[in-house]
Amino acid sequence: MLPRERSQMNRLLEEKLPVAEVARRVGRCRQTVYNWLKRASASEDGSGPAVTQRQRKSKLDDYVGYIESRLERFDLPATTLLEELRGLGYTGGITILKGLVGRIKERHVRRLVDRFETEPGRQAQMDWASCGTIVHRGVRRRLSLFVLVLGYSRVIWAQFVVSERRPILMELLERAFRAIGGVPRELLVDNLKQVIATARSTEGPAVVQPGFADFADHWGFEVLACPPYWPRAKGKVERAIAYIKGSFLEGRSFIDLADLNAQLGVWLKQTANVRLHGTTRQRPTDRLGEDVAAMRPVCSTRPYPIAETVSRRADHDGWISYEGVSYSIDPTALGGRRGERVEVRVSTEGELRVHHQGRLVAVHRKRPSGSAPVDDPQHAALRRKLRQRPSCERPRGKGVHFEQRVPDAIVALLAEAPRVVERPLAHYEARS
């Protein structure tokens, strides 16, 4: 048995879990757990031979303190630590170093997880999960599962969607907060690109995306980013995702996305959140009241103005392109200039609004990628009217500005009136 498995087994047994549950989590049979218990009891009461190992000094003993201090602050790999230790005089190999680093990191992760284990209202964990594809509104789309788990009560809130964009994520969080009845003080996330701009590294802590940081300030929660490649740090939501995939989604039949989410809501209410939780030994709904009582209330918080804003260039005729679809805008607002920058804002309800220099120049319903051009009748009428005007009166783009310096003598000659010489007609007839 590996040292990692022995330490995990001891920890689970200290939590008074059943032998069958310990065996399932460790990945061993129950007899192995019974044998380990028998050996441990024999070593404690002296009734049987104790398992002893000859202790010898390790080459890492003199560097444990340094390794602990480095891993306390940064998530360094063993290869990086090996280079640092070589400079301090370490002569051992990387295998023994990897074992020590793994044990230290596991202890740090367990401390991060257990820190909020029993404190109501403190933390929630969230994550995405990919669930294959689905036909949505006539188009095959990727199906994603959003899951939020309260750290104390283990209440699960989940929703299936076909987009993982940041506006969708923020809308789902708002729905979850209002459905639960409160906002946790901390939100533990993975290094999601919609949330985290720069992952935590040796150079510094994680940096939250400005757009999501504003959303977090609006709702009053702090964003905690997991260290990279530490999935156990958010083990509650990881287990909830596996639970939903295996116990709800596997083998299920549904008509469309709305039907799937309706079935999920019923299942969460009647099954997932009323089951006897394996760790707390209580039903999540029975502990929800303590969670909500310690959270920030949501009734006094106005909805966050969620909208995705991107920049696009418009052509001289009043058209822009967004996600493979052309949309018309007011052609008179551009002054006939090609390449003018406009702001496109798309709400979660699918409304597309275009602004140019602070002025609203178009409002459309967002169409799926590949749809036909979307033309506002008023914009089409304005384009026809502009085309009917003489070319000299049509708005033109920006011209090229320059300055030519002409000598004064030439300017004087140009200013003089042209001299016309009168000749008799016989003069021209003689030349012919």
pLDDT digits (tens, 9 = 90+) for 270-319: 999 999 998 888 999 999 999 999 999 998 788 887 766 788 888 878 89
Residue whose C-alpha is closest to residue 380's, from 305, 319, 289, 299: 319
Whether residue 170 is found in the same domain as residue 288: yes
Q: Are 141 and 162 in contact (CB under 8 A)?
A: yes
Pair 70, 97 in one domain: yes
* DSSP summary character for residue 153: T
Strands 123-136 and 139-150: antiparallel
Computed over every residue of the chain, the mean pLDDT equals: 82
Residue range of the domain that includes 280: 123-293
Three-state SS annotation for 6-37? HHHHHHHHHCCCCHHHHHHHHCCCHHHHHHHH
Residues of the chain with pLDDT > 70, as a percent, come to: 81
26 torsion bin: left (phi>0), alpha (psi -120 to 50), beta (else): alpha
Work out the pLDDT band at 418, boundaries 50, 70, 90: low
Instruction: Please report the sign of the dihedral spanned by the C-alpha atoms of residue 347, residue 351, residue 356, residue 357.
Output: negative
- The whole-angstrom distance between residue 80's C-alpha and the CA centroid of its chain comes to 29
| Count of all residues that appear for the chain in the document | 432
Same domain for 59 and 19, yes or no, is yes
Q: For strand 139-150 and strand 156-161, is the pairing parallel, antiparallel, or unpaired?
A: antiparallel
- Residues contacting residue 8 through CB under 8 Å, at least 6 positions apart: 25, 26
C-alpha separations of 215 from 31, 78, 167 in Å: 51, 37, 10
Co-location of 178 and 41 in the same domain: no
Q: How far is CA 358 from CA 121, 177, 333, in A?
A: 42, 33, 11
Residue 15 lies in a domain: yes
Residues 102 and 163 occupy one common structural domain = no
Q: Which of 94, 114, 134 is the last residue of a domain?
A: 114
Residues 282 and 330 grouped into a single domain? no
CB 108 within 8 A of CB 72: yes
Is the domain of 248 the same as that of 143?
Answer: yes
Residue 222's DSSP bridge partners are: 186
CA atoms within 13 A on the CB side of 168: 12
d(C-alpha 365, C-alpha 351), whole Å: 5
For position 358, what pLDDT does the model report? Answer: 72
Whether residues 128 and 270 share a domain: the answer is yes
pLDDT in tens, 212-266: 888 999 999 999 888 766 656 678 999 999 999 999 999 899 999 999 999 999 9
Residue 26 has pLDDT above 80, yes or no: no
SS3 state of residue 178: helix
Instruction: Judge whether 404 lies within some domain.
Output: no
CB environment 32-43: b (16+ within 10 A), e (fewer): bbeebeeeeeee
- Model confidence at 416, pLDDT cuts 50, 70, 90, reads low
Q: Which two tokens stand for residue 370?
A: 């590949």
Domain termination residue (choose one: 47, 81, 114): 114
**Rounded mean pLDDT, 375-382:** 91
Contact at 8 Å (CB) between 212 and 191?
no
Please, which pLDDT band fits residue 111 given cuts at 50, 70 and 90? low
- Is residue 45 within 8 A of residue 36, CB to CB? The reply is no
Residue 150 pairs with which residues in a beta bridge?
A: 124
Q: What is the pLDDT of residues 116-174, one digit of tens each?
A: 465 899 999 999 999 999 999 888 999 999 999 999 999 999 999 999 988 899 999 99
Taking each helix axis from N to C terminus, what angle separates 64-73 and 94-114, rounded to the nearest 10 degrees? 50
Q: Quick one: 332 exposed, middle or buried, by C-beta within 10 A (0-12, 13-18, 19+)?
A: middle
Percent of the chain with pLDDT over 90: 34
Torsion sign across C-alpha atoms 190, 24, 109, 3: negative
The mean-pLDDT minimum among 136-140, 207-211, 415-419, 420-424 falls in: 415-419
Give me 81's structure tokens.
């630590």
Report the candidate in 378, 340, 372 with the shortest Cα–Cα distance to residue 359.
340
Same domain for 158 and 52: no
The two tokens of residue 118 are: 């029993």
Token digits for 9?
């087994």
Asked if residue 90 lies in contact with residue 202, where contact means CB atoms within 8 angstroms, the answer is no
Taking residues 350-378, report their average pLDDT: 88
d(CA 413, CA 216): 73
What does the pLDDT average to over 67-73? 81
Neighbours of 1 (CB within 10 A): 11
Same domain, 196 and 227: yes
Residue 430 belongs to some domain of the structure: no
In a domain, 191, yes or no: yes
Q: Are 329 and 366 found together in one domain?
A: yes
State the CATH number of the domain containing residue 253.
3.30.420.10
Contacts of 386 (CB under 8 A, 6+ apart): 331, 332, 394, 395
> Does 407 map to a domain?
no
**Cα–Cα distances in Å, from 234 out to 161, 197, 228, 357?**
21, 19, 12, 44
Query: Into how many domains does the chain fold?
Result: 3
Residue 273 DSSP SS3: helix
Q: Answer yes or no: do 56 and 163 share one domain.
A: no
For the segment 38-56, what is each residue's pLDDT rounded down to a tens digit? 777 665 544 444 444 445 6
The C-alpha atoms of residue 150 and residue 185 are separated, in whole angstroms, by: 11
Assess if residue 421 is contained within a domain. Answer: no
pLDDT for residue 101? 86
Name residue, tokens 């999601």: 192
Q: Is residue 408 part of a domain?
A: no
Q: What angle do CA 106, 112, 114 make, to 5 degrees?
A: 95
DSSP 294: T
Does any domain span residue 363? yes
